[in-house]
Amino acid sequence: MNRTEPLVLGIESSCDETGVGIVRGETLLTNTVSSSMEEHVRFGGVIPEIASRAHLEAFIPTLQAALDEAGVTLADLDAIAVTSGPGLSGALMVGVAAAKALAVATGKPLYAINHLVAHVGVGVLDGGALPENLGALLVSGGHTEILRVRSLASDVELLGSTIDDAAGEAYDKVARILGLGYPGGPVIDKLAREGNPTAIRFPRGLTQPKYMGTAQEPGPHRYDWSFSGLKTAVARCVEQYEAAGEPLPVADIAASFQEAVVDVITAKAVLACTEHGITHLLLGGGVAANSRLRALAEERCAAAGIKLRVPPISLCTDNGAMIAALGAQVVMAGVQPSDLGFAPDPSQPVSQISL
């Protein structure tokens, strides 16, 4: 197997995107994605059973399109990589079963890859090797985490995460409260530009200082987030306007909600970075497309002397290229392939980079 510039096919099926990407070393050859988002719109969120069935239908056409675009065959591959977790159990099973079938049929080694760490690994496809003293802020519909990355292939540490809703999930729920439809992120981001972000002071969860014993011992949740209280505050705000018979200032509510989200996300990310000597921060995940999050992250990182790196939006959302990219890094690091008996892990921790 070529461990210098391996040709790796990556398969992603953790949620509602069926992604197949192919990389050669740190060079992207193709990033082919089929999304079932339209099938979930009328439900206001991803329905796991529908997502799983959509993966089944989309996998073969997406795989063929990726191979054609990259101009390679399955026989050319050095390895196959697949998302083993975290994610929706049924959706993960489809991708893992497909990857195992390909591995058995071709005799190629298979690597079970962590979805969250892959969001960091995709950075090598846009700018080459990742710097030292690296942190990663991952913000999506299912995850909100701050990570410390000492080694992409062997050493990733979780510093903080959401203890309830993910940021993207909060956007979807608030959009539903405001009657804006699904998905909520893009529509709230667009509407917020017309509103006043200081019109309503919504709560910033888990921001009050907590100490264990002495001031020198910070309490739990220092780098964690909570968005459930914010979502409830928006609902109460809407109820008050409706009870008073007043017009709902939707743009102001959207702007104030968004400001509360991005304020606490960026503040805690920068705090974690400064307290852990992290000098470079990679922003990834679907919510990285949010214009206000990108702007405030850039502003606060610059003020703290942290260099911010944001991959192209097409590489921030779930995709097979990120799985292939991390798979290639793992191969180049000399990690052994996964045993074909592995099972998908919907709660796979970031410290488990590959199974």
Residues 292, 140: Cα–Cα separation, whole Å = 15
Identify the CA nearest to 309 among candidates 120, 27, 118, 26.
120
Q: What domains lie within the chain, and their CATH numbers?
A: 7-126+315-332 (3.30.420.40), 134-310 (3.30.420.40)
Identify the CA nearest to 233 among candidates 187, 264, 266.
264
Only one residue has tokens 């488990």, namely 352
Task: Report, in this order, helix, strand and coil percent for the chain, each rounded to 5.
Answer: 45, 20, 35
Identify the CA nearest to 340 among candidates 72, 108, 48.
108
What is the chain's pLDDT, residue by residue, as a tens digit (355 residues)?
787 899 999 999 998 889 999 999 999 999 988 887 777 777 777 787 888 888 889 999 999 999 999 999 999 999 999 999 999 999 999 999 999 999 999 999 999 999 999 999 999 998 788 888 999 999 987 889 999 999 989 999 999 999 988 888 899 999 999 999 888 889 999 999 999 999 999 988 877 666 555 555 566 788 999 998 999 999 999 999 999 999 999 999 999 999 999 999 999 999 999 999 999 999 998 888 899 999 999 999 999 999 999 988 888 888 999 999 999 999 999 999 999 999 999 989 988 998 8
Residues 20, 310: Cα–Cα separation, whole Å = 21
Cα angle 285, 287, 289 (rounded to 5 degrees) comes to 100
Identify the CA nearest to 184 among candidates 198, 197, 194, 170.
170
CA 330 to chain centre: 19
Residues 98, 91: Cα–Cα separation, whole Å = 11
The sign of the dihedral angle between the CA atoms of 83, 312, 251, 297 is positive
Identify the CA nearest to 167 among candidates 236, 260, 256, 261.
261
Enumerate residues 6+ apart whose C-beta is below 8 A from 46.
15, 16, 40, 88, 141
Residues 325, 144: Cα–Cα separation, whole Å = 21
In degrees rounded to 5, what are phi and psi of residue 92? -60, -40
Q: Which residues are annotated as a binding site for substrate?
A: 138-142, 172, 185, 189, 290
Q: Which residues are annotated as a binding site?
A: 115, 119, 138-142, 172, 185, 189, 290, 318
Q: Which residues are annotated as a binding site for Fe cation?
A: 115, 119, 318
Asked if 26 and 325 count as a contact pair (C-beta separation under 8 A), the reply is: yes
DSSP characters for 305-339?
Answer: T-EEE---HHHHSS-HHHHHHHHHHHHHTTPPPPP
Helix (H, G, I), strand (E, B) or coil at 344: coil
pTM: 0.90
Enumerate residues 6+ apart whose C-beta is below 8 A from 183.
37, 141, 168, 171, 172, 175
What pairing do the DSSP bridges indicate for beta strands 280-284 and 155-161?
Answer: unpaired
pLDDT at position 213: 59
pLDDT at position 216: 53
Angle between the 184-192 and 167-177 helix axes, to the nearest 10 degrees?
A: 70
Identify the CA nearest to 269 among candidates 164, 167, 159.
159
Residues 308, 83: Cα–Cα separation, whole Å = 26
CB atoms within 10 A of CB 85: 24
Residues 97, 151: Cα–Cα separation, whole Å = 28
Asked if 260 and 204 count as a contact pair (C-beta separation under 8 A), the reply is: yes
Identify the CA nearest to 32 among candidates 42, 45, 41, 19.
19
